[in-house]
Structure 1
Amino acid sequence: MKILYLTKYTRMAGSSRMRSYQYFPYLERSGMKITVKPFFDDDYLKDFYAGKKNISTVIKSYLRRFLVLFSVLKYNKVVIEKEIFPFIPAVAEWILKLFGIRYIVDYDDAIFHNYDQSSNPIIKKFLGNKIANVMRYSGIVIAGNHYLAEYAWRSGAKKIEIIPTVIDLDRYPIKANLDSEKFIVGWIGTKTTFEKHLLPCKNWVKELQSQDPNIQFNIVGIREDMDLGKNVKYIQWREKTEVSEILKMDVGIMPLQDSEWEKGKCAYKLIQYAACGIPGVASDVGMNKDVCIDNVTGQIAYEDQDWIDHILFLKNNSLQKKEMGNNARQLVEQKYCIQVTADKWCKILSK
């Protein structure tokens, strides 16, 4: 069976790497032949992460994707990550439907809010229902959480499956609870998510350091000093070292702004922490509370003082921290690992 994956990015981007690329070895072992055609290439991503805009790489991306569409009839199944063409009506998806191609479309965030909540009135008017149409034209919608699944249902999707964003247990060992001088509070992400979600936490991050000088923040994915305090270490993200950096953490945090967009997030940071047996402290937004179960696998923070109190509690209560970490790992083993979800993908693609 030949499968065409139309991903949004190469494996350099976390969303495509976790939602698509990590499954390819499992699918190939089951006898499927995978062809992947990303929309954006590595050059685009390098510019994007560096805060640069390169119009020529964007134009090339649209042309490359257009040419790929002429080959779709050669494949038994087509899997689309989010949409075929960003910021263009769902004409390509409609044409696939006309040709009887019951494509599978996968979502790990609320991309529809790029359109229906756009500040640009033209985008909002002409593309507000775009993703609803993509979902309705599809054979199956794969949703990373219930919020996304509910949108698919309201859009008239014929079939909906919930598959969370997961990790590979073979890559995530359990942290050895060794005594160390510093208590490491960790965060991992991109500059974009840092600026939106962690930077607004600057006040309590600095306050926590002043209350306890033995607390250190490790910020993975940011290289330059962002003025979060003296006890902050900024660490460049690399795929090869991300797990080893997480294993240095004692607590992992995931603050989120409370908005409709964040309700579509799949709590991937928390799943990464939990896979290593590290409890999380997280905002009460979206899927966070499904992974960071309050006082079971971590603690939920509702306001600034909660973050300080919860982190100090976990620092000063090692037995409770260890128990929450063990519970978190068990949760990942049960629900949030590729060892569980790979079979589900194989069954969907084999039908």
Structure 2
Amino acid sequence: MRMLMLPRYGRLGASSRLRSYQYLPALRAAGFEVDVSPLLGDDYVAGLYAGRAPPGAVLRGYRDRLRAVRTRARYDLVWVEKEAWPWLPDIVERTLSDGRRRLVVDFDDAVFHRYDRHRNPLVRAALGHKLDRLMARADLVTAGNAYLAERARAAGSRQVAWLPTVIDLDRYPPPAPRRTRGPVVIGWMGSPSTAGYLHTVADAFSPLRAAGRIRCVAVGARPDQVQGTPFEAVPWSEASEVAALHGFDIGIMPLAQTAWELGKCGYKLIQYMACGLPVVASPVGANAQLVRDGENGLLATGLDDWATALRTLVDDPALRTRMGASGRRDVEAHYCLQVRAPRLIALLQALVSGADLP
């Protein structure tokens, strides 16, 4: 089976790395011949994270995407991450769903809200239903959480499958026993695009930090983004991310309560749990399903909740260990590549062959 994969970004882009590139070895081992054509390459992503997207990269990306789409007749299956051409009408997407090949569309963010909730009424009118039409035409929509899956069903998608954003257990070995002396390290891992959430909970850390009981680390945030917070910015790289996570004692994932955040799939929490960390998270989007409050972590809404949750975990190393072990078991059972790749492959094989989806 020949497959054309159209991710949004190169491997440096987290969503594309985790929801497209991560599955390539398993897909190819299962007999899929996969060609990959990202819209925007690593040079664009690196520039974006540094606050200076390279000029011309978007135009080149759109040109290259059009060239890739023109090769669609060679393939049995086309996999699109979110959409083929952002911010343009669905002319290109319509050519991918002409009935001659199977179309799979993958969502791990509520990107449709960039259009249907845009402040400009012209954007809402022109693009507000673009992704609903794409989901309705797709042979399969894979969705990272329940909110995204429900949107696909409401749009009239023929088939919808839950595909959480997962880790590879081969990269995340079982955690070693944790140290119990010194300040407790409270860590966040993400990208510059999500570092702003740290400001919403920064005050909850102040009493513990003033007492010298904690150290706060933000892996993937720029130094200018954590000014005025207790967090130290630490550079992120794919090669070092697991080692950085193993240096945490508690993992956090604050979110705002908006429609955009309802589409978040909780990947940070899955990373933390894979490393045997207890978590504190806002009960928004997939977070509310991933965190079993009091078992593998704690849910926190306002600043008082956050301060209480952090103090509870800082005060009790044994509780941190129990919650971390529970989270690791959850990841091994549900949120790892070793579980999800065979299920995705079975879905795609059935889709191409015309069999009922498992």
TM-score for both structures, normalised by structure 1: 0.96
2:356 aligns to what? none
1:189 aligns to what? 190
Residues 35-61 of structure 1 deviation map (CA, whole Å, 9 limit, x = unaligned) = 100000112112211112444111111
The answer to whether the Cα contact below 8 Å between 1:206 and 1:228 also exists between their aligned partners in 2 is: no
In structure 2, C-alpha distance between the alignment counterparts of 1:27 and 1:98, rounded to whole Å: 24
3-state SS, counterpart of residue 169 of structure 1 = coil
2:142 aligns to what? 142
In structure 1, C-alpha distance between the alignment counterparts of 2:99 and 2:143, rounded to whole Å: 24
What displacement does 1:233 show? 2.6
Q: Which stretch of structure 1 is more off in the superposition, 95-104 or 62-71?
A: 95-104
What displacement does 1:99 show? 4.8
What displacement does 1:228 show? 4.0
Residues 201-248 of structure 1 deviation map (CA, whole Å, 9 limit, x = unaligned) = 2322334312x312000110124152345x643210010000100101
3-state SS, counterpart of residue 52 of structure 1 = coil
Structure-to-structure mapping, 1:203-222, within 5 angstroms: 203-210=203-210, 212-222=211-221
What displacement does 1:69 show? 1.1
1:161 aligns to what? 161
In structure 2, C-alpha distance between the alignment counterparts of 1:174 and 1:315, rounded to whole Å: 22
Structure-to-structure mapping, 1:122-141, within 5 angstroms: 122-141=122-141
2:354 aligns to what? none
3-state SS, counterpart of residue 168 of structure 1 = coil
Structure-to-structure mapping, 1:1-351, within 5 angstroms: 1-175=1-175, 176-195=177-196, 197-210=197-210, 212-224=211-223, 226-229=226-229, 232-351=231-350
For residue 185 of structure 1, what is the amino acid of its counterpart?
I
The answer to whether the Cα contact below 8 Å between 2:7 and 2:38 also exists between their aligned partners in 1 is: yes
The answer to whether the Cα contact below 8 Å between 1:164 and 1:266 also exists between their aligned partners in 2 is: yes
3-state SS, counterpart of residue 40 of structure 1 = coil
Moved over 4 A (4+): none
User: Structure 1 unaligned runs (5+)?
Assistant: none
In structure 1, C-alpha distance between the alignment counterparts of 2:119 and 2:207, rounded to whole Å: 35
What displacement does 1:284 show? 1.1
In structure 2, C-alpha distance between the alignment counterparts of 1:80 and 1:96, rounded to whole Å: 9
3-state SS, counterpart of residue 106 of structure 2 = strand
The answer to whether the Cα contact below 8 Å between 1:218 and 1:235 also exists between their aligned partners in 2 is: yes
In structure 1, C-alpha distance between the alignment counterparts of 2:263 and 2:209, rounded to whole Å: 32
For residue 193 of structure 2, what is the amino acid of its counterpart?
T
The answer to whether the Cα contact below 8 Å between 2:218 and 2:232 also exists between their aligned partners in 1 is: yes
For residue 74 of structure 1, what is the amino acid of its counterpart?
R
In structure 2, C-alpha distance between the alignment counterparts of 1:113 and 1:208, rounded to whole Å: 38
3-state SS, counterpart of residue 98 of structure 1 = coil
What is the aligned-residue identity percentage?
A: 38
In structure 2, C-alpha distance between the alignment counterparts of 1:302 and 1:232, rounded to whole Å: 20
